[in-house]
Amino acid sequence: MLTVLWLFAVIVGFFALAYINAAGWAWTVAIGAALAAAWAIHAIPLLAMLILAVAAILLAIPLNVPVLRRKLISDAILSVFRKVLPPMSQTERDAIEAGTVWWDGELFSGRPDWSKLLAMPGPKLTPEEQRFLDRECEELCAMVSDWETTQVYRDLPAHAWQYIKDKGFLGMIIPKRYGGLGFSAYAHSQVITKLSTHSGTVAVTVMVPNSLGPGELLLHYGTDEQKNHYLPRLAKGIDIPCFALTNPHAGSDAAAIPDTGIVCMGEYQGKQTLGLKISWEKRYITLGPVATLLGLAFRAYDPEHLLGDEQELGITCALIPTSHPGVNIGRRHMPLNAVFQNGPNWGKDVFIPIEWVIGGKAQVGNGWRMLMESLAAGRGISLPSSSTGMSKLAVRATGGYARIRRQFKTPIGKFEGVEEALTRMGGNLYMMDATRALTALAVDLGERPAVLSGIAKYHLTERGRQIITDAMDVAGGKGICMGPSNFLGAAYMQMPVSITVEGANILTRSLIIFGQGAIRCHPYVLREIEATRETDIERASAGFDQALFGHIGFVLSNMARSFIMGLCGSHCVSVPRDVAPETRRYYQQLTRFSAALAFLSDISMGSLGGALKRKEKLSARLGDILSLLYLCSATLKRYELEGRQSADAPLMHWAIWDAMFKAQNAIEGVLANFPNRMIAALLRTLVFPLGRPYVVPSDSLGQSVARLLIESSASRDRLTAGMHISTSEDNPVGAIELAMAAAIAAEPIEEKIRDAVKDARFYVTSGEDPAAAARAAGVITAEEMAVLARARRLSDLVIRVDDFPPDLGASEIRPTDAVRSHKAAA
């Protein structure tokens, strides 16, 4: 019996020391105490105890003395690592090292410090930024309608283009000293979000020059001469920029672009000049058809060694006026009936001076790093903001429509099947807007969150797609009949565009999020890799030793923490005292899942090695866990920043519960498909010792979320804050807003009529209007009759769909000079 107790104590001691990631000396003392206890209870013979004690001492000395540990253990392992570690190309290295690690590092640590997240300030707008949103953005939205933009002008109208240029929309990220607006990342995000609630074409037109493109690249890498010349012109719309990266044969694999630039001497302005002769073919280039300044990525070569000893210099970025001889601007693409300017361009042996390279001669070959570092920030703003804006439009308009539209004498929003779709829409939007704001905050705090921007791009565009699809299911025939009164069709058609750009979503999920995150966010992996590349033997040995044994302790700690937190249902996890009581359990469960992610990641990398890169489904699921932890973090942060609004709590609870259930399923997906089944069985025992804790969110919680979308309330307003909402009946969203308010005002009167009929206070004959009969019987007043009449009229206006002549109105669409005049102005 004593032996069993001793064995139990040893196991408990092991997990306790591993849980706290105890130092080596603590392990040494614990092993000594365990051996002494075993001898005292006669669990092992004296001779065996002495042999074990000597072995423990011989092992403990080198493990606790770094110099000996390095010579006897670490250096040998380092030598093996150098032989087996696959070579890393410069483009891979640039992609991995781009940007910074922020809250994602905490989530990968297995023990996130929630007090850091809670202490972060909330994103704020300056008075100038708020005025711009309230005035210029609203005025721009009022200038365009999606229907006219897509069906009449096939572009923004000329006066809208001019307004965009005059008011500085194209220079939001450009500092004021260059004539730009100098907005924060959060203000930039707010502008794109608002524009996206009204017109995708307007949003994309404004978004692209402020995202990855000439402006961003010039700001960080341009020469002073380039900045002083181009930035003021870009800020005022004198130059319209585009950036050409995608080649027909290199899309997602952008680093493999075959476009070339040969360093050579050539003639420019009558003089022999050092430059590049470039040949390229690009497509999908937004603003390309109207651009005056072409940002171009190509692979530079120096066969004559005019710049140095290297012949293959790498990807390079240059700025070329589209009026330059040899630049060919093609016709337009039409991406899913969206009419933002987009098209191909190409050139053959086009000579440019070396000074046209962004950053000048010194930056030849550094283009890929430029792009990766710029993408680390820009990708977290543009598409997350546009997807959130479209989703706000869908949620507010569909919620209102579900209150107005009746079937079986009941608003369709009160049917459980429709409630299910509305629930997903509301919960997803709450989490999306929280993630958008937190990611923008990171950029404003000086971070360039490469992994988190990929997470935001992928998950917000995917959730946006789900919201739009759910909205279309609710809208039904109203959603599929195109015309001026359709509030959803354009968003439904254009939403897939965001899935394909700035890293196609399949690629982002299966290769980038975890592939980059596992190395960048892990506290030891990158340090181990860097040690294998270090040429200084002493520094490599010391660095690798620290990283290796830190890594071993990290693995053991997260293994123990996963198991113990699983046994206690995470109730044993300490969290900051000042969190909202209703969210306390979420912090505990997220901490448990963080430890599980770190443990599963290390076991996956350790057992699969380089093969993990080819196990894309496994990598994607590990990335899902990290992503969902970030989305939940953002949601909790939002709930705190907004003052723990109890009315909004159903949105928060549903969003986190749904995300945690999906994170749990992702863990299950890793375990069920882990190649080594013995390891998988052990992992399952350690991660889920008492089974899986989460189930789907309850129907009652979902109903509470759905009801928020069909009620006029402060919660609905907070959920869709920042929208452009028209007050005109001629605007489809404005008509829904007016009709919803009228419907809510009419409901008590309708109930009054129904009660009077039940009480036999009057009778309604077949075909007779109940409201007219009630008015004649004195049941309702003339004012109440007017309320009912207004509600009916607006309801009819909302549920009406557009129709056209047999040629679908082609004969009614007249040629316009809008596009031509814009191009002439450009």
Give the 3-state secondary structure of residue 731. coil
Q: What angle do CA 718, 721, 726 make, to 5 degrees?
A: 125
List the helix and strand counts (H, then E) for the chain.
36, 9
d(CA 507, CA 376): 16
Q: What angle do CA 804, 805, 808 make, to 5 degrees?
A: 65
Identify the H or E element spanning 241: strand 241-244
Contact 311, 302 (CB under 8 A): yes
- The answer to whether residue 502 is catalytic is yes
Identify the H or E element spanning 411: strand 410-411
Q: What angle do CA 399, 462, 207 make, to 5 degrees?
A: 90
Report, in angstroms and rounded to the nearest whole number, the Rg of the chain calculated over CA atoms: 31
Cβ contacts of 409-416, under 8 Å, gap ≥ 24: 411/710, 411/743, 412/474, 413/474, 413/706, 413/709, 413/710, 414/710, 416/699, 416/703
Report how far apart, in Å, the C-alpha atoms of 294 and of each of 44, 155, 357, 376, 596 are. Answer: 79, 20, 12, 22, 47
Among candidate residues 725, 743, 745, the one with its CA nearest the CA of residue 733: 725
Q: What tokens does 152 get? A: 């009449």
Contact 734, 794 (CB under 8 A): no
Contact 269, 224 (CB under 8 A): no
Q: Is the dihedral of CA 553, 558, 561, 563 positive or negative?
A: negative
Contact 554, 548 (CB under 8 A): no
Count of Cβ atoms closer than 10 Å to residue 585 Cβ: 15
Among candidate residues 450, 459, 431, the one with its CA nearest the CA of residue 518: 450
Kindly provide the residue ranges of all beta strands, DSSP E only, lying in 62-158, ordered along the sequence: none
Q: What angle do CA 312, 314, 319 make, to 5 degrees?
A: 125
Identify the H or E element spanning 275: strand 271-286
Contact 461, 383 (CB under 8 A): yes
d(CA 62, CA 72): 7
**Number of residues written out for the chain:** 826
Among candidate residues 149, 150, 183, the one with its CA nearest the CA of residue 169: 183
Count of Cβ atoms closer than 10 Å to residue 630 Cβ: 27
Q: Which of 129, 419, 502, 528 is catalytic?
A: 502
List active site positions: 502
